[in-house]
Amino acid sequence: MASKKKNIKSGASASRLNEKKNLYMGIDLGTNHTAISTSNGKKNSILSLVGIPKDAVATKFLKKERLYGEEALKHRVALNLFKPIESGVLKNQKEDIEAARGLLQHIIHSVGANGDGKKYAIIGVPAQASVLNKKIITELAKDFFDGVMVASEPFCVAYNLGQLEHSLVVDIGAGTTDLCRVHGTLPEPDDQISSNKAGDFIDRELVKLISDEYTNVRVSPEMSKRWKEQCAFVGEPDEEIIVDVPVDSSILKLSITREIREACESILPDIVDGISKLISTYDPDFQDALRSNIWLAGGGSQIKNLGTFLEKELEQIDGGRVRIDRDPVFGGADGALKLAMDMPAEFWRTT
């Protein structure tokens, strides 16, 4: 009997050791950036961009069959570029699915996710991603994980913030702006609203506004995005925004202050309407708690004056208190990681 007990104890110890070797990951597979956080403390974020050399010369020059993220953007003139995520949704084309698979594999390898233990992941997706899109992402991710599930990206942000009761998250990404009402459970469809007016929409509006104001200008999407990331604001400007713009064969310094403001403010009506709808359809006893706990997240949350501007707009519906997530890059990935680590072991055995 003593020998048998010793064997049982050894087996239990081995089981606990294997549990410690398990690696958990949270992934934000976004339109513009893909971010990852792991249970061993590693993080990375890259552009959601995949490049394949256009011909044999490009392959020889670049010495790679595929390039990812910033490296792909740097060498884009020699590449066929793929942005597999559009408006927060994985494109359902063979080339894009393969590009997304490569992107996922690349960012997993970038954080050294190797070892003997099992790997589990939760991947953040837009608030109202379709069943088909969730299925496609889950299926391609199964090649890399022993267990995987998808979760609402704004809910992951709320989980990371610890705001799981009477909170409203507005996650402004590149492809979508996702609003999620959180009340202590996983969100249901009625708790979530998505709009395609987000970062990419601002970029397109900025290009259009500048082109309408100035003739013969050449503004690329990359230029528009860069100016937005450097100067985005709403409300009254603190200073004039002057940029170098190609006009015919020259470079001129032009003011784009008004255009930046109008482009950034173009996404706000949908956000205000979404907040109003989620508050008005909430339990009346807790509406005041909800309106006093609104959180801005994602890259768009960094637009200057956005929180203050939204609070003024919300005065039309009895007000609201707006706070800003301090980590727009990893907030979603960190929340997905925390959720993955909090899931009971039996949950992963059923995925």
- pLDDT for the residue 249: 78
Within this chain, do residues 244 and 132 fall inside the same structural domain, yes or no? no
Which are the contacts of 70, defined by CB distance < 8 A and separation ≥ 6? 46, 47
**Which of 142-146, 190-194, 213-217, 283-287 bottoms out in mean pLDDT, i.e. has the lowest?**
213-217
Nearest alpha carbon to residue 337 among 40, 125, 38, 35: 38
Please state the rounded mean pLDDT for residues 281-287.
97
Total count of domains within the chain: 2
Examine residue 203 and state whether it is found in any structural domain, yes or no: yes
Query: d(Cα 277, Cα 195) in Å, to the nearest integer?
Result: 13
The arithmetic mean of pLDDT across residues 18-23, rounded, is 72
- Asked if pLDDT for residue 8 goes beyond 60, the answer is no
Here the CATH number for the domain that contains residue 93 is 3.30.420.40
Q: 90 and 133 in contact (C-beta within 8 Å)?
A: yes
- What pLDDT is attached to residue 194? 92
Q: Examine the domain organization and report whether 52 and 145 are in the same domain.
A: yes
Residue 242 CB contacts under 8 Å (≥ 6 apart), including other chains? 253, 254, 255, 256
Does the residue 61 lie in any domain? yes
- pLDDT per residue as tens digits for the range 208-254: 999 898 878 888 888 999 999 999 999 999 999 999 988 877 888 99
d(CA 183, CA 163): 9
Q: Do 26 and 146 fall into the same domain?
A: yes
156 with 209, same domain? no
Task: Give CA torsion, residues 179, 184, 190, 192, to 10 deg.
Answer: 20
The answer to whether residues 77 and 58 touch, using CB atoms and an 8 Å cutoff, is: no
Structural domain including 48 reads 19-160+331-349
In a domain, 96, yes or no: yes
Q: Same domain for 137 and 234?
A: no
Judge whether 275 lies within some domain.
Answer: no
Question: Which pair of tokens denotes residue 293?
Answer: 């706990």
| Same domain flag for 50 and 142 | yes
Residue 35 lies in a domain: yes
Instruction: Examine the fold and report which residue of 242, 265, 288 is the final residue of a domain before the chain moves on.
Output: 265
242 shares its domain with 151: no
Judgement on whether residues 148 and 258 belong to the same structural domain of the protein: no
247, 265, 283 - which closes a domain:
265
- 182-197 pLDDT tens trace: 999 999 999 999 999 9
Nearest to 337 by CA among 62, 101, 22: 22
Q: Are residues 117 and 240 in the same domain?
A: no
Same-domain check for residues 28 and 133 = yes
> Tokens at residue 29, please?
């597979």
- How far is residue 218 CA from its own chain's centroid? 29
| Cα separation, 96 vs 84, whole angstroms | 5
- Are 217 and 147 contained in the same domain? no
Is the confidence at residue 11, as pLDDT, over 60?
Answer: no
Say whether pLDDT at 18 is over 80: no
What pLDDT does residue 113 have? 78
